[in-house]
Structure 1
């Protein structure tokens, strides 16, 4: 997920005294279940916790309509009823399954004994024009027919070229429904590359994931007291990311204004996301990640200034992001835990430092230093292994007759998902070295 589990756990703990055990238990169950709803539960948890620091918060209070919005907040200046939701481009991804096609071609290539990587997949597209705008669709087989397409069309052409002794394999399919160029060049291993048009850039104001999510919440808030709004968390959605700058793109502000025009039951929309800023330099440095918010208030509202003050205070309570929305959404679909400091270490004249989780897994026999922190140890051991410098350093100390003189755990904070173990090596020990 975007935020680290330790940070989420503290917020769950503190919410128990605000909204009660039953509601918090429900959030915890959703956070523990792999899938896209995990991202929605994450945003709901951090928003509820942050707003609980800004006023008197209640959760799922029943309205006269029988609906139970996520937020009822009272401050000296405001009374707010709001819902929290997370949006992604998953529906568009399902309609344009380029990733699944790449995986199927990759597996078929591996079964034919070709080297790892070297796949270049280029996908053509068409632009479907309607009265309301234009949408981009990749020229791919339907998701349900991908496997039969690969095995019945792609694989036979690849086998024929292999039998003919071709060094670089190429498959080109170009008709009204499918437009694919596949190149497999063993000299370019171990990397794969995909190329296709951006199909997830919104171009129609009221037909896109952001508008659909807002529309779904409009009825939930109808008839609610006070200021009403929708807080939208980024679950990997281009409309929120600002990644595109196409001339024919409709912006998030334009989408929200169109929503306000069609629905009067919502007074504000708050968009939450995370921005990454890459740090240049010769030495790789992790990107800087920062929580971001963009608010849109219905024209003529008298509460704009108060809402701005409230949400600025709310943002100060959010955790430090550990991943971008796209990577957080991918990790949310995995059924195990994220790696910690696996593969990371530091060495000095007499000390080494390694992640606590990796250290414990080594002690438990689940991995060795030679695995270099790989998540899938069994798969990594089938590939060529590079030497592990820390293992060599420890071996040299041992051969010199030096044993650890102290082992200390160095704690990190809630915005990290691992601690460190620092091992100090002592003087030469005559128990394992020649007497002097």
Structure 2
């Protein structure tokens, strides 16, 4: 996810004294369950933990309406009631299932014994105009008919071209509802690419994922006393990104302003996301990820200054981001755990090597070898041409020289890391495994 599991665990531990065991166990259960709700639970944890360090926090206190918003917070004269949610473009992605089509094409290639990757997928789109604005829709089959589309149209053409000895393989479909080009070039394996029009940019102020998320939470706050607001965490939503809007798109500011116009009971909206800052165009050093918050306060709300000060202080207690929301959302839907320092290592001379503790333990348990080079999907990686393992070569050279490990030390990291290190120091030549001198 966006934040490391260790960082989330510490915050769950801290929240037990504030929210009680039952509330924390419910949050932990949501965080352990693969799916999009993991991201929402993650934002709830970091927000409530941050606020708990800034004042008095209560969770799910019943209103007169019997609704139970996530947050009741008090500090000095400020009393606020807020709900936390996460917003994503999942609905738009479901209606434009290019990713699923790419996966099905790859699966079809595997049936035909073609190498991994080498696919270039180009999808055309239609632009629909209405009185309220425009929207872009990719010309793809409905999500539920993708498998049938691949089986009946894609696979037969691939088999026919392979029988004829064609290379690369090319498929062009240009119909009213489906229009795309597929090129499969084994020489480009294992890399694939895709191109299509942007369909997730918001173009109607009150018909987009951000507005829908705000509207869904507005009713939850009805009847609350004091300052009311909605805290929105980024779960991979284009409306929360910092990319520049085109002339036909609506901005985040316009969406929130429209929400304030239609729902006068909500006093503020806080948008939480992660920003990436690069040092020029080089890939090194890697980009720096930073927490980011944008506060919108309704005109006439007298708590603007207090809210700004509060949320700045809250943000200081957030963990360090480990990945952007787009990647965090994908990882949240996966079983198991993220990789640690797998494949990473360092050496000092030829006698000291350092590798990830998790990878070391998995090797010790027989689940992988050094030759796997830290691959996450070991079986798939072993089907590809394998690069020689430098780390294995170093260990093997020491062994052949008659040197055994003299010490093994665990190097602990902090909560913002996903793994520890193990440092192995090889000793002098041991006559037990080397010629006598």
Q: Normalising by the residue count of structure 2, what TM-score does the alignment of the two structures yield?
A: 0.98
How far is the alpha carbon of 1:268 from its aligned partner? 0.2
What SS class does the counterpart of residue 23 from structure 1 fall into? Answer: helix
Once residues 299 and 63 of structure 2 are traced to their aligned partners in structure 1, the CA distance between those partners, rounded to angstroms, is 25
Aligned partners of 1:408 and 1:423 also within 8 Å: yes
Question: Within the alignment, does 1:248 sit opposite 2:248 as a pair?
Answer: yes
1:200 equivalent in structure 2: 200
Once residues 186 and 367 of structure 2 are traced to their aligned partners in structure 1, the CA distance between those partners, rounded to angstroms, is 33
Once residues 72 and 358 of structure 2 are traced to their aligned partners in structure 1, the CA distance between those partners, rounded to angstroms, is 40
1:182 equivalent in structure 2: 182
1:167 equivalent in structure 2: 167
Question: Within the alignment, does 1:157 sit opposite 2:151 as a pair?
Answer: no
How far is the alpha carbon of 1:263 from its aligned partner? 0.5
How far is the alpha carbon of 1:265 from its aligned partner? 1.4
Once residues 114 and 24 of structure 1 are traced to their aligned partners in structure 2, the CA distance between those partners, rounded to angstroms, is 48
What SS class does the counterpart of residue 394 from structure 1 fall into? Answer: helix
1:108 equivalent in structure 2: 108
What SS class does the counterpart of residue 426 from structure 1 fall into? Answer: strand
Residues 80-126 of structure 1, C-alpha deviations (whole Å, 9 max, x = no match)? 00000000000000000001111111111221122221110000001
Q: How many residues of Structure 1 are paired with residues of Structure 2 in the alignment? A: 436
Once residues 389 and 161 of structure 1 are traced to their aligned partners in structure 2, the CA distance between those partners, rounded to angstroms, is 41
Once residues 94 and 374 of structure 2 are traced to their aligned partners in structure 1, the CA distance between those partners, rounded to angstroms, is 32
1:28 equivalent in structure 2: 28
1:352 equivalent in structure 2: 353
What SS class does the counterpart of residue 393 from structure 2 fall into? Answer: helix
Structure 2: which 5+ runs fail to align?
none
Aligned partners of 1:238 and 1:244 also within 8 Å: no
Q: 1:44-83 counterparts in 2 under 5 A?
A: 44-83=44-83
What SS class does the counterpart of residue 273 from structure 1 fall into? Answer: strand
Q: 1:114-129 counterparts in 2 under 5 A?
A: 114-129=114-129
How far is the alpha carbon of 1:282 from its aligned partner? 6.4
1:216 equivalent in structure 2: 216
How far is the alpha carbon of 1:284 from its aligned partner? 4.2
Aligned partners of 2:83 and 2:217 also within 8 Å: yes
Structure 1: which 5+ runs fail to align?
none
Once residues 281 and 434 of structure 1 are traced to their aligned partners in structure 2, the CA distance between those partners, rounded to angstroms, is 53
Once residues 391 and 285 of structure 1 are traced to their aligned partners in structure 2, the CA distance between those partners, rounded to angstroms, is 27
Aligned partners of 2:289 and 2:322 also within 8 Å: yes
What SS class does the counterpart of residue 342 from structure 1 fall into? Answer: coil
What SS class does the counterpart of residue 47 from structure 2 fall into? Answer: helix
Aligned partners of 1:201 and 1:244 also within 8 Å: no
What SS class does the counterpart of residue 395 from structure 1 fall into? Answer: helix
How far is the alpha carbon of 1:176 from its aligned partner? 1.3
Once residues 217 and 174 of structure 1 are traced to their aligned partners in structure 2, the CA distance between those partners, rounded to angstroms, is 42
- Pick closer, same or farther for the CA change 1:281–1:142 going to 2, 3 Å: closer
1:134 equivalent in structure 2: 134
Alignment RMSD (CA, Å)? 1.2
Q: Normalising by the residue count of structure 1, what TM-score does the alignment of the two structures yield?
A: 0.98
Residues 311-351 of structure 1, C-alpha deviations (whole Å, 9 max, x = no match)? 00000000000111010000000110110000000011121
How far is the alpha carbon of 1:283 from its aligned partner? 6.7
